[in-house]
């Protein structure tokens, strides 16, 4: 399920305009396992691999968010992300994620839903 599902247009605009739009090349790792949580991303285009201990455990694509779980749960990263293609993303700092959770209740609910889905898989 895409992170933006269930948001109204105003909420989507708020989320998209809070972060910074960035592009990453293929074969890049923006997040590393066992490091502190300082950023999160929403994928707009492209595909990424989620790896734990060097083994792929999932793939992410447009509408997926990553990096948020460690921010919300105040824990070290439990996986690395490696871009498989060029990615267009929205980059969020830890403070921006926390502010969005406070200001947009549907965003906090979506992060909770994403965490539950990932724990179930």
CATH code of the domain covering residue 46: 2.60.120.10
Question: How many helices (H) does the chain have, and how many strands (E)?
Answer: 4, 7
**What's the rounded Cα separation, in Å, for the pair 62 and 77?**
21
Instruction: Write down the residue that tokens 């792929």 correspond to.
Output: 56
Cβ count near 100 (within 10 Å): 23
Task: Indicate the pTM of the whole model.
Answer: 0.89
Range of the domain at 21: 9-120
Q: What backbone phi and psi angles, to 5 degrees, belong to 31?
A: -135, 135
Per-residue pLDDT of the chain (121 residues; tens, 9 = 90+): 488 888 899 999 999 999 999 999 999 999 999 998 899 999 999 999 999 999 999 999 999 999 988 887 888 889 999 999 999 999 999 999 999 999 988 898 888 888 777 766 4
**What's the rounded Cα separation, in Å, for the pair 34 and 88?**
25
Looking at the domain assignment, is residue 2 inside a domain? no
Looking at the domain assignment, is residue 96 inside a domain? yes
* pLDDT at residue 115 in the model: 74
Domain count, the chain: 1
Looking at the domain assignment, is residue 3 inside a domain? no
* pLDDT at residue 72 in the model: 79
């Amino acid at each position: 399920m895409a992170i933006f599902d269930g948001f109204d247009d105003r909420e989507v605009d708020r989320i998209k305009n809070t972060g910074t739009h960035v592009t990453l090349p293929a074969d890049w790792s923006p997040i590393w396992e066992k490091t502190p949580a300082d950023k999160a991303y929403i994928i707009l285009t492209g595909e990424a691999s989620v790896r734990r201990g060097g083994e792929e455990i999932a793939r992410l694509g447009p509408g997926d968010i990553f990096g948020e779980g460690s921010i919300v749960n105040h824990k070290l990263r439990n996986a690395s992300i490696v871009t498989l293609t060029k990615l267009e993303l929205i980059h969020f700092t830890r403070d921006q994620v926390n502010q969005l959770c406070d200001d947009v209740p549907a965003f906090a609910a979506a992060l909770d839903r994403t965490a539950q889905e990932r724990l179930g898989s």
